[in-house]
Structure 1
């Protein structure tokens, strides 16, 4: 790849190195310069421009990122669309991220232009969470680098994967001493149940007994007979030695002690044993609290069917000081929203809220409400709604207005929240304002779509979501088809205050001009993002072209 300052006459097809904001147009970094772009630059007095030119054997940054992401993604991972040389990997299930840090280091050592950042190994992740980002640093890399990596497929293929949590039959045994309050045991049961629920375990069997070797041993044997797949023991007093009551009871029942103690605080006094191939965990006293502790790390691995041996526990010391740090959240069912916001993997762009504007009066369509017109056997608005729900958006709502009951009836079977705009006659801006006001407090961006665009696809929406990255200056994502802008548009939360001031029938286009440097145009593979149906003629033309005569 050649990187230099070029005369405009020699810059056709080159890649713009730095973003340019001009009075009537903004050119983003990475733009492949066209004749129109160059003419525009000449009008403003530019003679030279810093660009990159691909050479024979070079691989475009997006192509390289997508190919490498495909190579390294193992089971239960899905890759997003590559954009500006970045391809993110997302978990398809809740579970633990598994990879060998040594192989990750080898991958990042191939060349400085190829980078892979991940969450920590064995991190607990939820479905849809981003767990890795692969970034090609320059605009292109030599294809020989890709061949070099593929030549080491045994190290890099399926480099990381997510081990899903399995449904297991879990038994909790609690012991009591004279004076032990039942409320303490009840609290431990509640905390343990919440822990397990966050890991996809809905049923927990519990038994209680006196804190002595014989009583505990009998309940352990009973749990084995009842085919428990994991046994948890919460003793009335902490285990302080391998010969203490709880470990002695495990051995008396026919089991063995595999490890005692761990380099994680809270959680130092964890006990790990087994009986008849069933894992048995002596829970440390800190696990009576729902806050993160060493027991969580062991429990998560066992429920993800990842073997835990003595050496594994001994290696948990790195990052094992958990006491009094903000990443010790309560389990989700107990945590307040502020606590959760502190520990989000990506607090700037984690949750996307999608909205369908479905409140217009449809005056140009005549007597019909265009949103209720059947397209392929379904009301037009239902097609848009189904697409939104199937996308990566975290939540979906519809803003209604004119004939709102009919609109709700058309899509009532879908998992959509309805917000009625009483001021729908004041134009589309009133629906935008209603959408912003009703958006979830924890959403980081809103994707606003129109109900009269039946050719919008899941791919269109997901490309916009994948492109969104406010930290890299992509805070407004606009779809384009052959250079023409369309809908839907994704807006970062930072614009909400100004969007609440919109008036009339013009939407938020003025903000795009005001913040041109934060707009990214996402080119689509078809024209669905520019097709809306406002008139009977447009409806007829659409049906004829798509062979849908209703």
Structure 2
């Protein structure tokens, strides 16, 4: 099955696998691609890479080479708004085609990785990704595997949504209600509004209007209804989310007639959070931490809403495992464990 040829006698023969070149601290990558026809000029280069012999693989029926295997696996797991490239050193990478929410079927991923020889690695599900971001990779461990392993993978994928997909963000019109006597009367500058505008802009949505109201229940409810009547597709409320007697935002959200999904989240920062639904329009009460922390409950919930998902109480409860921000000196969310 494997023919060993001295490199000096390999001119005109085709490589059966990629050959890697490593220069410590400078380069690691493919020096020769599978299928390359060896020329006389290649002989010194191959010998510099330590290739005194060339292995030519003649696979019998029933076995599949690593490159073809990785290509076939990628084809089975690649879902909407994700693409995959050609094999490189036996591995295929899957890349987001556009900005959106990454979705990974974690149970299916475990089932596929339990198959012989097959490995698939992904980023965590439910995180925002940019177009061009590598979101998954796959390869087999040996140089070749039994075709039956690929057939079993195909069968497991057949009755499931794609393992890896990206849900594009919807571009919504956002209404913003800022509460607080100190801001309403001009005693201090509103610093929350600009932060929220930028967060939504980065996700492809726009804050259509901001209404500043005093700490009065009727005024907050009126602002919610005003923005809804103007066409807001989501209403975000800032301020008044703690437990002080004059923090009235949660009560105002309830008084608006909205159905509360959850009040309180097992995420630090972001515990004093409320999510409600007002006739199909999400109402979000944001705690103050969203103003000065890069990663909070906002980053864990809002992208899912913008991707068209319905976030349930059970979804929020599940955030507790990983819901403690490590407080890194330099925040690198979403490339961390927060909310994962």
Q: State the TM-score, normalizing by the size of structure 2.
A: 0.81
Flag the 1:275–1:35 CA change in 2: closer, same or farther, 3 A: closer
Structure showing the higher helix proportion among its residues: 1
Per-residue deviation, 1:281: 0.6
Residue 280 of structure 2 is matched in structure 1 by: 277
Per-residue deviation, 1:129: 1.1
Flag the 1:275–1:14 CA change in 2: closer, same or farther, 3 A: closer
Matches within 5 A, 1:154-303: 154-155=158-159, 158-178=162-182, 182=186, 186-235=190-239, 237-240=240-243, 245-289=248-292, 291-303=294-306
Matches of 2:194 and 2:235 in 1, distance apart? 16
1:127 to 125, 128, 131: 131
- 2:19/2:89 contact within 8 Å kept: no
- CA shift digits 1:421-451 (9 cap, x unpaired): xxxxxxxxxxxxxxxxxxxxxxxxxxxxxxx
Matches of 2:114 and 2:330 in 1, distance apart? 30
Flag the 1:227–1:14 CA change in 2: closer, same or farther, 3 A: closer
Is 1:58 aligned to 2:63, yes or no? yes
Matches of 1:55 and 1:178 in 2, distance apart? 78
Per-residue deviation, 1:80: 1.4
Matches of 1:184 and 1:178 in 2, distance apart? 6
Flag the 1:326–1:179 CA change in 2: closer, same or farther, 3 A: closer
Corresponding residue SS for 1:281: strand
Flag the 1:171–1:180 CA change in 2: closer, same or farther, 3 A: closer
Is 1:314 aligned to 2:317, yes or no? yes
Matches of 1:15 and 1:148 in 2, distance apart? 25
Per-residue deviation, 1:8: 4.3
Flag the 1:256–1:20 CA change in 2: closer, same or farther, 3 A: closer
- CA shift digits 1:370-423 (9 cap, x unpaired): xxxxxxxxxxxxxxxxxxxxxxxxxxxxxxxxxxxxxxxxxxxxxxxxxxxxxx
- 1:284/1:295 contact within 8 Å kept: no
Q: Which structure 2 segments of 5+ residues have no match?
A: 23-29
Corresponding residue SS for 1:163: strand
Matches of 2:202 and 2:94 in 1, distance apart? 22
Per-residue deviation, 1:217: 1.0
- 2:100/2:130 contact within 8 Å kept: yes
Flag the 1:298–1:243 CA change in 2: closer, same or farther, 3 A: farther
- 1:242/1:260 contact within 8 Å kept: no
1:72 to 53, 77, 90: 77
CA RMSD of aligned residues (A): 3.4
- 1:16/1:28 contact within 8 Å kept: no
Residue 147 of structure 1 is matched in structure 2 by: 151
Matches of 1:19 and 1:271 in 2, distance apart? 53
Matches within 5 A, 1:36-51: none
- 1:58/1:140 contact within 8 Å kept: yes
Flag the 1:74–1:246 CA change in 2: closer, same or farther, 3 A: same
Residue 86 of structure 1 is matched in structure 2 by: 91
- CA shift digits 1:61-84 (9 cap, x unpaired): 222222221221111111112222
Per-residue deviation, 1:177: 2.4
Matches of 2:52 and 2:275 in 1, distance apart? 72
Matches within 5 A, 1:451-490: none
Is 1:117 aligned to 2:121, yes or no? yes
- 1:30/1:139 contact within 8 Å kept: no
- 1:265/1:323 contact within 8 Å kept: no
Per-residue deviation, 1:49: 6.0
Matches within 5 A, 1:340-419: none
What is the number of residues matched between the two proteins? 320
Matches of 1:81 and 1:100 in 2, distance apart? 23
Flag the 1:179–1:94 CA change in 2: closer, same or farther, 3 A: closer
Q: Which structure 1 segments of 5+ residues have no match?
A: 22-26, 331-342, 346-550
Per-residue deviation, 1:184: 5.4
Flag the 1:136–1:294 CA change in 2: closer, same or farther, 3 A: same
- 1:14/1:53 contact within 8 Å kept: no
Comparing 291-300 with 133-142, greater Cα deviation is found at 133-142
Per-residue deviation, 1:120: 0.6
Residue 327 of structure 2 is matched in structure 1 by: 324
